[in-house]
Amino acid sequence: MLSRRLSLLSMLAFTLLSSFILTANAAPTSNSLNSVFVTPEWAQKNQKNILFIDLSSHASYQKLHIENAQWINYNWLIKPQNGLALSGGVAYISKLLSQQGITPDVHLVLYDDMGNLNASRLYWELRKLKHNKVNILDGGIVSWILKGFKVTQTQPQHPTKTIYPQATLPLTNSLTADKTDIRAAIQNRSIVLIDTRSFDEYVGDPKQKRSGHIPNAIFFEWSWAVDIKNGFRQVESDTLLAHLKTLGIKDKNQPIITYCHTGHRAARLFLMLDSLGFTHVKLYDGSMQEYAIDKSLPLRVGEKP
């Protein structure tokens, strides 16, 4: 179900690109920069001083990408462990960055073609490493092309390997949740759990032995953060904050844990919350792939948190 929805989203993005690539010629109107997102205008103006990382599918990257953007496969961010798709940890990601010729002083701007769903996972990994400068291109490749900025099919030169040092006191513990954290959140409602999967996954199927959501988890599908009609950019901050408020999430210092099935979609909500200024957000790396197989842990079927 998830792969089909992501495929449809990617197809929609490419349709938008195909429709506008020959006619879009808008001139830059802004070079604004916030703590997380950068506009296409800002990124185009500062293109010589940044390194774009493209996390679209390889097929999409080959069709078109920002000039000199390096491609990173989303699957490279995952290291299977005991049958689970998990983060490989700081040493693993540091090695990946070294192979891509990246050092801590390089200003990275991440993007993809699906509302920055894939880019969010690398953003989370880089936050754990305390990478000096990392931003997300708001709207990804879609918004870039809709502004009329140059794309290419030319592959950049293969990067020269470097040494990306492991971070001193990485932020892994403060940004990553485990089953112990989830148990605590079930008992302590001051810790907010956010389920970022589809509504059908959240509600579950009473005919299945293990389905539904973690008790007390609030439903917020990851795609609600993406404004598809506005070039796949993130929804306006005021709108997102108002929606969160209706769900009882008002305090930006409140502990929050996002989860989905493998941590993929949860990373997009981590990015959203981080960009909105929430200060204590963790991603449950194991998510439902780990939680649901532990029969000692409760699941709830239905719309009630």
User: Is 29's pLDDT higher than 50?
Assistant: no
- Rg of the chain's alpha carbons, rounded to an integer? 19
Of the candidates 136, 139, 141, the one whose C-alpha atom is nearest the C-alpha of residue 153 is 141
Q: Is the alpha carbon torsion for 217, 2, 204, 239 positive or negative? A: positive
pLDDT confidence of residue 284: 98
Mean pLDDT of the region 19-40: 55
Mean pLDDT of the region 225-252: 97
| Tens of pLDDT, residues 159-187 | 999 999 988 899 999 999 999 999 999 99
User: Is 26's pLDDT higher than 50?
Assistant: no
- Counting every residue, how long is the chain? 305
The conformation of residue 139, written as its DSSP 8-state character, comes to: T
pLDDT confidence of residue 31: 40
Mean pLDDT of the region 127-148: 97
User: Is 25's pLDDT higher than 50?
Assistant: no
Mean pLDDT of the region 295-302: 97
In angstroms, the CA 262 to CA 268 distance is 12
Residue 183, CA distances (Å) to 75, 135, 298 in order: 29, 33, 9
Average pLDDT, the chain: 91
| Tens of pLDDT, residues 86-135 | 999 999 999 999 999 999 999 999 999 999 999 999 999 999 999 999 99
Q: 0.85 exceeded by the pTM?
A: yes
- Higher per-residue confidence, 130 vs 19: 130
The SS3 of residue 149 is: coil
Which residue ranges form the domains of the chain, and what is each CATH number?
Answer: 2-152 (3.40.250.10), 172-291 (3.40.250.10)
Q: pLDDT above 90 covers what percent of the chain?
A: 86
For residue 226, the tally of other CB atoms under 10 A from its CB is 21
User: Is 279's pLDDT higher than 70?
Assistant: yes
| Tens of pLDDT, residues 34-79 | 589 999 999 999 999 999 999 999 999 999 999 999 999 999 999 9
Crossing angle of helices 117-128/264-275, nearest 10°? 70
